[in-house]
Amino acid sequence: MDMPIAAIVVLAAGTLAFRLAGPLFRDRVRIPPRLEDLLSVAALVLLFALVVTSSFAGWARPAGVLVAGVLAIRKAPFPVIVIAAAATTAVLRLIGVP
């Protein structure tokens, strides 16, 4: 698995630019509320797409993620959700589910 340092630096520099724009240019530029809302929903759309596309491999992994989803809907504490997902997948693999 490889992640070149240059890629991390580009991500960091771009992120810093987003962070600095407000403090540096707030006297000259205004962010329309609609753009602000669009950007925050866009972040959630991407994160959920990442959940979906990284969940499907065999049956044990999606089953673990499903358990996490149900627990999250029921407002279980964060560590419980994450450990339950891993445990479900691990137990299914132990009994031979791929």
Partner 1 sequence: MAMRSISRTALRDIALVCVADAIVGASFGAIAVSGGFDPWVPVVMSLIVFAGGAQFAAIGIVMGGGGVVAAVATGLVLNARLLPFGFAVADVLKGRVYGAQLITDETVAFALKGRDARERHDYFWVSGLALFAAWNVSVVVGALAGTFIGDTDALGLDAMFPAVLLALIMPALAERRVRVPVLVGGAIALAASTVLPAGVPVLLSLLGLLARPKEA
Q: How far is the CB of 66 from partner 1 (least distance, A)?
A: 10
Nearest to residue 69, comparing CAs of 58, 84, 89, 59?
84
Our finding on whether 16 is near partner 1 (CB under 8 A) is yes
Our finding on whether 97 is near partner 1 (CB under 8 A) is no
Helix (H) or strand (E) run with residue 46 in it: helix 33-55
What is the rounded distance in angstroms from the CA atom of residue 87 to the CA atom of residue 98?
14
Our finding on whether 95 is near partner 1 (CB under 8 A) is no
Our finding on whether 56 is near partner 1 (CB under 8 A) is yes
Our finding on whether 59 is near partner 1 (CB under 8 A) is no
